[in-house]
Amino acid sequence: AQSVSQHNHHVILSEAASLELGCNYSYGGTVNLFWYVQYPGQHLQLLLKYFSGDPLVKGIKGFEAEFIKSKFSFNLRKPSVQWSDTAEYFCALKGGATNKLIFGTGTLLAVQP
Amino acid sequence: DTGVSQDPRHKITKRGQNVTFRCDPISEHNRLYWYRQTLGQGPEFLTYFQNEAQLEKSRLLSDRFSAERPKGSFSTLEIQRTEQGDSAMYLCASSPSGMTEAFFGQGTRLTVV
């Protein structure tokens, strides 16, 4: 069965701090991996995605994620967070022939000015 | 606005009543998805359409739930004989054929009292 685990449920950082949110998945085949963000009162938006090729993917707003196949991980990083990054972040997986996304439980990030 | 549109945004209903939600996908997106999200959880897949064909259904979609996409454009999700456990945010997403990335609407929040 496919699953996604996000270890940090709630993260509080000060502005300019570095961010790393953990994401591990369970699936033995080829995967597509995503990070979505949900700002307060807004819809889910795609931050970045990995399909194949370079395991280090860059997304919008200075975010990046690294796919490490041996660790079944796809951690999200940002070197310096801003107050406007306050949001909930979801890691998601699409595996095999299915068209559905499997989401993690999300990480709520609060950035203090 | 060319995003995914959902109606209504909020719905309060009494237990046992039927409710219907509508989703208008991004124009020319032939794939449409329904997800459900409860507090503290990530979105859970319910069902997927390609054009008017319903190609995948989750076990979460009990016989009280039915979804349609009659002309391959908008979709409806109906819940019959609502229960308190149906209270959740119902999300619709769409994507073009060939793309895995899904674009989400703002959701319909259902409260069953």
Residue type, B65: F
Task: State the pLDDT confidence band at B40, using cuts at 50, 70 and 90.
Answer: confident
Q: What string of pLDDT tens digits covers the 113 residues of chain A?
A: 889 999 889 999 999 999 999 999 999 888 999 999 999 989 999 999 999 999 999 999 999 999 999 999 999 999 999 999 999 999 999 988 888 999 999 999 999 98
Which chain B residues contact residue A49 at CB under 8 A? 100-101
Residue B54 contacts A, CB cutoff 8 Å: no
DSSP notation for chain B? --S-EEE-SEEEE-TT--EEEEEEPPTT--EEEEEEE-TTS--EEEEEEETTEEEEE-TTS-TTEEEE-TTSS-EEEEE-S--GGG-EEEEEEEE-TT----EE---EEEEE-
Q: If you average pLDDT over every residue of chain B, what do you get?
A: 94
Residue A52 contacts B, CB cutoff 8 Å: no
Q: Strand, coil or helix: what is A1?
A: coil
